[in-house]
Structure 1
Amino acid sequence: MASQKLSVSQAIVKFLGNQYTVDQIGNETFRERTIPGMFGIFGHGNVAGMGQALRQYQELETDLMPYYQGRNEQAQVHQAVGYARHTRRRQTFAVTTSIGPGASNMVTGAALATTNRLPALLFPSDQFATRTPDPVLQQLERFDAGDVTVNDIFRPVSRYFDRVWRPEQLFSAMLNGMRVLTDPVETGAVTIALPQDVQAEVIDIPEEFLAPREWRIRRPEAEDSDIVAAAQFIRAAKKPVIIAGGGVHYAFAQDELKRFAEATGIPVAYTQAAVGVMDWDHELCLGAVGSTGSTASNALVREADLIIGIGTRYEDFTTASRTAFQNPQVKFVNINVASFDAYKNSSVVPVVADARKALIKLNEAVSGFTVSAEEAREIKAEKERWDKTVDDAFAECHRPLMSQNEIIGAVNEAMDERDVVVCAAGSLPGDLHKMWRVKDAYGYHVEYAYSCMGYEISGGLGVKRASLDVKDGRDVVVMVGDGSYLMMHTELVTAVAEGIKLITVLIQNHGYASIGALSESLGSQRFGTKYRKLDEATHSFDHGDKLPIDLATNAESLGARVIRVAPGESVREDLMNAVKEAKAAPEGSGPIVIHVESDPMLDAPSSESWWDVPVTAESELDSTAEAYKTYAGWKAAQRPLLG
């Protein structure tokens, strides 16, 4: 068998440059490079291994594995995840780090990728496999376990973990890693730890290992018996509702979902991951569901006798902590590529299949069925009620500071339908879920499975990279509060270095607005959520002067162009003009930050729903005692659905 003498790192780079994802959607076949590039921050551990390999091929085979420079290891993983979601899990990036803190900085990113079921390939460097110079700088020593390293913390947050102690282990590690990255059920973070001496070790690499290889995304058909059973429950239902999850997007099932809804009259509610599966103004689109949902979705789900879950994992915000489904006769038919999710909530018919393929069969099986005229009237009335609620929220006129509702409405109106909004944590994701009006399947990107503060700019940069690579002409607009911005804004520098036009709307509200509101509702009076100077007499941060933070100047110091929107009578128009001005900037001009202040005390419209966050049963604070009464009332409404 022909072979090449390569270092382990060189073999990894050459291998990855020849891996392709193949996907079949109907009559269309897609073939993309699974790993189009690699991020890396170099230190001892990878500088002479992966760093040398990337440098070598940058000269010898420029397009084999392009290297991209990041500023924070966690943020690099976020970029990979943002890219993966915009490419519908067909592609992602690899990340190489040094040992010690460089490696462990990626753990949050790995957890985010796995929780969101999005692929990311991680190469944390590790201590010497030979242990000859132990302990090296940044090495963790355990008195009881010589084979444990810092990188073992990746095990619970990775979908696949391996450590290449010997060069010969590289083959199985990489092939298993690629299998998981391209598997729609198993995908998540793939972590392959690389001891620093092994990275530089030379081995004979078979040509077969380095040859182009295709990884086909599996899209299983639904069993006919399951479709027949599901159709029977649908035909018997009086008040069916569809809950669409992110799996609809990953299956490219939006058109089939619309056809199914229109043929049957069954309305569609959607989770955070599924926003965009149906145009917001479609007559059967109820909008968001659950704790951050619309009153339309929650009213109809509350009385539903059949929930048809498609590509959803029923996260607690979706189920309003299992208070959403109040009909004692409610049943669940779940369509999901993962059996783990298909069987949830005591599903009477778990359909383990690709969502698009299942819907094609289900459309035929329920032909002729429609909801009653009375149910159709209720759907129409609830949708009209919610649409007016959002209209009123967007039309608020608080001055000199706008409410977050007004800011969302202004940005939404100023963006084009094909643009992408990106967010992750704070009060914005809930308010966006409720109110953001989307008419494009790619128009909404909110990371809410892990809801990681600091994802916004780095994840948004990953989305923009994907948009540029597929040349879809979309602007990417990140919406982020000051709390999340302060957590991680480093990748603005990356955007500056590469001239990437990433638009960021930075909302300054002098604290943690989301947790502040939650704290108040739970009787803790916004404790520890304000950015204030310390009052040493009471050791309190609640009542001091606002901190003199100038985040606009901070963004300018990183090289971003900044547009300041001043409070005042024309603030809404000024914000819209700022977004339009940023959109008009040419590609390649670098990042643009729009700075605007909001009033954090002005809430979004109520979802008429709930989220279970336990309240202390005994307290000397009257506010906590009152909050507990409310909590106890909602707890009584929880349904112990099995599974």
Structure 2
Amino acid sequence: MTDTVRLTVAQAVVRFLGQQWSERDGERQRLVAGCLGIFGHGNVAGIGQALLEDELRATQAGEEPALPYVLGRNEQAMVHTAVGFAKHRDRLSTWAVTASVGPGSTNMLTGAALATVNRIPVLLLPSGTFATRVSAPVLQELELPHAADVSVNDAFRPLSRFYDQVDRPEQLPSALLGAMRVLADPVETGAVTISLPQDVQAEAFDWPVELFAERVWHVARPPAEVARVQAVADAVRASRRPLVVAGGGVHYSGAEDALAAFASATGIPVAETQAGKGSLLHGHPQLVGAVGSTGSTAANVLAREADLVIGVGTRWSDFTTASRTAFRDSEVRFVSLNVAGFDAGKHSGLSLVADAREGLSALTAALTGHEVDPAYAARVATLWGEWDAQVAAAYDPPADVTDRLADGLLTQGAVLGAVNELTDPRDVVVCAAGSMPGDLHKLWRVRDRKGYHVEYGYSCMGYEIPGALGIALADDTRDVFAMVGDGGYLMMPTELVVAVQERVKVVVVLVQNHGFHSIGSLSEGLGSQRFGTSYEFRGPNGRLDGGHLPVDLAANARSLGAHVIEVHDRSGLAEALLRAKAAPRDGGPVVIHVETDPRVHSPGSDSWWDVPVAQVSTLDSTQAASAAYTEAKKHQQSHLAPTLPKDLRP
């Protein structure tokens, strides 16, 4: 007879999660490190009660809870915190997130989309209304006359890599095991959702004790197929101007050393996507920086001329390909090394489905003795030197720039430069939306494989502070610097309170430029004259151009419990950064408030991003932008050519 233990469904969930581990290369860590939550009707007497029991049991035993609980302040932000944690842990560990019925749970939808777009594992436990419907309709329940079994939690289905709803206790084991499988799968991972009706959470059941045994989920490293490796090696040997595009898969695989060895052995230059930035560290001779719409001119010139583009762990987003205008050579061909066949098969390329580290190591061996032409290597070095000089000028603007600045204003490039140069190599910079991700992509000099953390798959405003909190929870040996503009800060400052509560140090560099800098510039470039992008009073003409609003974001951050340092010049910024560095890691958040001039831009990328312009307009600015858009579209490529160059086709 099987031994059983009587627990509620919620208690079973908590006990099960506390026994799950991931393992890769013989190293293991908790697959679900804790639970972030906000309680309300739906989970307060279910998951909330179960977490309380777990904490009290651990306290009485003198142990740490198997599933530590952290009280969040915003449900979307809690998912971002879990994503930040999981990304910093190379997707080998994450957090669960629980929320109450209705608006509490649906507030997590944006976070679910972000996790799935970025291929980052998070476990979501939205609460549902009664499975029995005995009290229907309950507070915050969606009622549809034509479908009584549809709830707001069904909105998680298209946003999740795995979705299940547990309407009976007997369904829980298969739901939990399926969820863990996807969390630990490097191909299938993303948001994993188990919807838990509130009556089911509190229902008791006799569970087999085997359900709560310790489980270790192996994270695979699929090897590269020998014949495909040889085909890629043949394509590389036949190319004259090859270029590697390194994506986030390099980091998740821990393939940085393998990439460095490949680049050093072959001399092939390496450009980086947002997720892949830091795949090679600053100073590596084959590094040519960011590629695409927010790329360096060095990488983008080489991209235009490349006859073979080798993508490693990239999903080929429009910013990486400059909306398919980055790679223009008439004979350009693509190789995609990716653990996911879906991404490896893009651009009609030669796909190499494998773990990034394993694939790169195999390619390096297959290309023994092969190097790019010395003239090509010299051109790479020249282009990079020219770009690096532009970065230095952005970090330390010349007098013809600084003399035009109003008192108390800095350039955004100077702010990023100061943070880059005055922080430790192991410190982490965090960003997600606005103009700063683009500037960071172009300008930031990465000195440690974990030093750059920009969420640009979903580019979600408000990610920065909760994401930084997740990184700090994942690794307390580094300082974490969240770079956020006033627009992003106003979206989600709430998790400063969580950082205060948990005594976690995150340094928020809050850049005030009175509006949406990035979209303002985009609007201007598209002929829309920055309409609706500045934070200003409504003027006498009825437009929002009546002067800046008297919003004091420094006072706001101070009111939330953060230590705030206000900066008015470059020397003050340097002093503030040193003070922030000296602050204890258990001292809570530090906010550095600095104002910048949005009219001073960082060096251009000589690239493009496809955002359609009105084809008919009475505005001269829109007409001019439409004509420029039509011209740029002429460079867009289909990338449908055969896999191999002519001399390698059968």
Aligned-partner Cα distance in 1 for 2:248–2:472:
20
User: Contact (CA 8 Å) 1:265, 1:284: kept in 2 or not?
Assistant: yes
CA displacement at 1:529 relative to structure 2: 0.2
Aligned-partner Cα distance in 2 for 1:134–1:628:
54
**Match of residue 460 from structure 1:** 468
The yes-or-no answer on 1:640 pairing with 2:638 is yes
**Match of residue 516 from structure 1:** 520
The aligned amino acid for 1:384 is G
SS in 2 for 1:272: coil
CA displacement at 1:32 relative to structure 2: 0.4
**Match of residue 444 from structure 1:** 452
**Match of residue 355 from structure 1:** 356
CA deviations 1:268-322 (Å, max 9, x no partner) are 0000001111112211100000000000000001000000110000000000000
CA deviations 1:119-140 (Å, max 9, x no partner) are 1101110010000100000000
**Match of residue 502 from structure 2:** 498
Aligned-partner Cα distance in 1 for 2:395–2:50:
53
**What are the within-5 Å matches in structure 2 for residues 559-578 of structure 1?**
559-566=561-568, 571-578=569-576
CA deviations 1:529-586 (Å, max 9, x no partner) are 0000012x43211x212100000000000010000002xxxx1121111111101011
Aligned-partner Cα distance in 2 for 1:115–1:358:
24
CA deviations 1:92-123 (Å, max 9, x no partner) are 00011110100101000101111110011011
Aligned-partner Cα distance in 1 for 2:550–2:525:
28
SS in 2 for 1:193: strand
Aligned-partner Cα distance in 1 for 2:118–2:504:
25
The yes-or-no answer on 1:430 pairing with 2:438 is yes
**What are the within-5 Å matches in structure 2 for residues 465-504 of structure 1?**
465-468=473-476, 473-504=477-508
The aligned amino acid for 1:540 is R
CA deviations 1:484-533 (Å, max 9, x no partner) are 00000100000111111110000000000000000000000000000000
Question: What residue ranges of structure 1 are gaps of 5+ in the alignment?
Answer: none
Aligned-partner Cα distance in 1 for 2:56–2:44:
17
Question: What residue ranges of structure 2 are gaps of 5+ in the alignment?
Answer: 59-63, 642-650
Distance 1:171 1:268, change over 3 A: same
The aligned amino acid for 1:81 is V
Match of 2:420 among 386, 407, 412: 412
**Match of residue 538 from structure 1:** 541
**Alignment TM-score, normalising by the size of structure 2:** 0.96
**Match of residue 646 from structure 2:** none
Match of 1:206 among 205, 208, 219: 208
User: Contact (CA 8 Å) 1:94, 1:120: kept in 2 or not?
Assistant: yes
**Match of residue 51 from structure 2:** 54
SS in 1 for 2:608: coil
Aligned-partner Cα distance in 1 for 2:585–2:423:
16
User: Contact (CA 8 Å) 1:76, 1:95: kept in 2 or not?
Assistant: yes
CA displacement at 1:642 relative to structure 2: 3.6
Aligned-partner Cα distance in 2 for 1:124–1:391:
48
SS in 1 for 2:418: helix
CA displacement at 1:210 relative to structure 2: 0.5
User: Contact (CA 8 Å) 1:234, 1:240: kept in 2 or not?
Assistant: yes
Aligned-partner Cα distance in 2 for 1:176–1:517:
45
**What are the within-5 Å matches in structure 2 for residues 220-619 of structure 1?**
220-347=222-349, 349-396=350-397, 398=402, 399=405, 400=407, 401-468=409-476, 473-535=477-539, 537-541=540-544, 543-566=545-568, 571-619=569-617
Aligned-partner Cα distance in 1 for 2:207–2:543:
62
CA displacement at 1:618 relative to structure 2: 1.4
The aligned amino acid for 1:132 is V
**Match of residue 9 from structure 2:** 8
User: Contact (CA 8 Å) 1:344, 1:642: kept in 2 or not?
Assistant: no
Aligned-partner Cα distance in 2 for 1:246–1:318:
12
Aligned-partner Cα distance in 1 for 2:570–2:475:
28
Structure 1's consecutive aligned runs of 4 or more residues displaced over 4 angstroms after TM superposition are none
Match of 1:45 among 20, 42, 46: 42
The yes-or-no answer on 1:150 pairing with 2:147 is no
**What are the within-5 Å matches in structure 2 for residues 88-237 of structure 1?**
88-237=90-239
CA displacement at 1:633 relative to structure 2: 1.2
The aligned amino acid for 1:606 is G
Aligned-partner Cα distance in 2 for 1:6–1:421:
43
CA deviations 1:79-101 (Å, max 9, x no partner) are 00000000000100001111010
The aligned amino acid for 1:55 is L
Aligned-partner Cα distance in 2 for 1:217–1:331:
31
SS in 1 for 2:475: helix
Aligned-partner Cα distance in 1 for 2:108–2:34:
17
Aligned-partner Cα distance in 1 for 2:460–2:177:
30
Identity among equivalent pairs (%): 56
> How many residues were matched structurally?
628
The aligned amino acid for 1:551 is L
CA deviations 1:320-349 (Å, max 9, x no partner) are 0000011000011110000001111110x2
CA displacement at 1:2 relative to structure 2: 1.0
CA deviations 1:239-296 (Å, max 9, x no partner) are 0000000000011111110111011110000000011111122111000000000000
Aligned-partner Cα distance in 1 for 2:56–2:148:
39
Aligned-partner Cα distance in 1 for 2:573–2:519:
26
Aligned-partner Cα distance in 2 for 1:281–1:606:
21
The more displaced of 206-215 and 275-284 is: 275-284
The aligned amino acid for 1:133 is S
CA displacement at 1:15 relative to structure 2: 0.2
RMSD of Structure 2 on Structure 1 (CA) = 0.9
Aligned-partner Cα distance in 2 for 1:587–1:209:
38
SS in 2 for 1:286: strand
